[in-house]
Amino acid sequence: MFRKDTPIIDYAKLIEGFRACDVDNRGVLTKSQYRKLIKHLKIGNYPKANDAFISITYSALCDENKKGITFESARIIYEASVQGSKTKLNSLILFRGIDDDRDGRINESQFQKIAKLVDSELSNSDIENLFQKCCPNEEKTISYTCVAKNLFNVTCWGEEDPFTQKLASQGNLSTCCLLL
């Protein structure tokens, strides 16, 4: 029995879209193939999905060994987008994708990119106020924990490292098994 607030995720559409985009049958999508999948699934505010969403999510979950997005990573992004923008899973994906040096801290420009993806209605002054609320350090950077609490309204226990947390365990549907 499903709760009323449980998002309905069309896994058949995800599988079909992934297979259609994976023209080489490698089980891995290049960035251009990933862009097509995002369009097919209508996630990331499509049709307005901008390159920022695609680049950030691709960067966050790109498998460096396989040089692309695996089905498991595509599933995580799909589940995160269906569940809503202000979730722990989404905060981890977006933060990982924007934190280029992977030190667990981002600057105001990076924060602004994430904030626009989370809430396109935020004005520049709203974003600046949120950034200042996060108490940037002397280098004008803020931690993942501050971003999660203030932008995503997510509860964090102490300082959390976004790069050591398992993304698959953050989704409420992470235990389902899909056969391709």
Instruction: Determine the Cα–Cα distance for residues 79 and 100; give it in Å rounded to an integer.
Output: 24
**Tokens at 53, concatenated:** 């969403």
Q: What would the pLDDT profile of 133-163 be if each residue is shown by its tens digit?
A: 988 889 999 999 999 898 888 887 778 777 7
The amino acid at residue 159 is E
Q: What's the pLDDT score for residue 49?
A: 54
Q: What's the pLDDT score for residue 5?
A: 60
Instruction: Determine the Cα–Cα distance for residues 143 and 162; give it in Å rounded to an integer.
Output: 10
Distances from the Cα of 17 to the Cαs of 40, 74, 76, 96, in angstroms? Answer: 6, 10, 14, 25
Instruction: Determine the Cα–Cα distance for residues 21 and 13; give it in Å rounded to an integer.
Output: 12
Q: What is the mean pLDDT of residues 114-119?
A: 88
Judged against a pLDDT cut of 60, whether residue 54 lies above it is answered with yes
Q: What's the pLDDT score for residue 1?
A: 46
**Tokens at 157, concatenated:** 């226990």
Range of lowest pLDDT (22-26, 78-82, 83-87, 164-168): 164-168
**Who's near 68: CB < 8 A, 6+ residues apart?**
26, 28, 29, 30, 31, 33, 34, 62
Contact criterion met (CB below 8 Å) for 16 and 57: no
Judged against a pLDDT cut of 60, whether residue 4 lies above it is answered with no
Judged against a pLDDT cut of 90, whether residue 18 lies above it is answered with yes
**DSSP per-residue codes, 60-117:** HH-BTTTTBEEHHHHHHHHHHHHH-SSSHHHHHHHHHHH-TT-SSEEEHHHHHHHHHH
Instruction: Determine the Cα–Cα distance for residues 166 and 179; give it in Å rounded to an integer.
Output: 21
Domains of the chain, first to last: 11-83 (1.10.238.10), 103-160 (1.10.238)
Q: What's the pLDDT score for residue 42?
A: 82
Range of lowest pLDDT (34-38, 41-45, 108-112): 41-45
Q: What is the mean pLDDT of residues 28-52?
A: 81
DSSP H/E element including 11: helix 11-21
Q: What is the mean pLDDT of residues 170-179?
A: 51
Q: What is the mean pLDDT of residues 9-32?
A: 93
Q: What's the pLDDT score for residue 160?
A: 77
Q: What would the pLDDT profile of 82-112 be if each residue is shown by its tens digit?
A: 877 788 888 888 999 999 888 999 999 999 9
